[in-house]
Amino acid sequence: MASETARIEAFSDGVFAIAITLLILEIKVPQPSAGPLAIQLARQWPSYISYVISFSFIGIMWINHHRLFNHIRRSNHGLMIYNMLLLLGVTFVPYPTSVLAAFLGKPDQRLAAIFYNGTYFFIAIFFNLLWRHAKSPKDRLFGSDVDSYAIAEINRKYAVGLTAYALCAVLAWWSVPASLCWNVALALFFALPHKGVRTAHADL
């Protein structure tokens, strides 16, 4: 990587990789003394659901982080701070994932889902802070070959993201399955590729 952000990107990639790997460690290996293997595997269905959802979410966050740094070509102190805040949220994901897996299908599943969704709401805040700092006229960390369509699309998606993730947490109060389905829909929304056209001026 030849850009000024090379070390930030390399460090971030490592953090994303570790966070996504830690998720599988929360799925415990069945023990022979605990009963038939088939029954033990079936009982771990909340862990499987939580793992797949969180794996997908962290992967999509990594994709979006990569998309941001396709436009961010310079770094400063503020960018590093906001990026560290984002990574703080990413590394925290395995914990609410474990909580959700432990309480899914049990009396406290509603609070577990709110806690889980709240984590992604704060990560959405950190993504927005990072993006706003990078595109601010004061700092102007973009390269000269700015893709205005892609910038405008990121602006629209991030504006929707904060409200949508807040609604996920509120929805969990009434229906945990509906909240998780809405989370998956949001993940698909952010996974969609940008169809930008390279232009010289960004719609900031």
How high is the pLDDT of residue 21?
92
How many C-beta atoms surround the C-beta of residue 114 within 10 A? 21
Residue 129 neighbours by CB under 8 Å, 6+ apart: 82, 85, 86
User: Stretch 34-63: mean pLDDT, rounded?
Assistant: 88
C-alpha 186, offset from chain centre = 10
- Cα separation, 114 vs 116, whole angstroms: 5
How high is the pLDDT of residue 197?
43
Q: Considering only residues 34 and 128, tell me which one the structure prediction assigns the higher pLDDT.
A: 128
Of 107, 122, 105, residue with least CA distance to 177 = 105
Confirm if 53 and 184 have CB atoms less than 8 A apart: yes
How high is the pLDDT of residue 202?
41
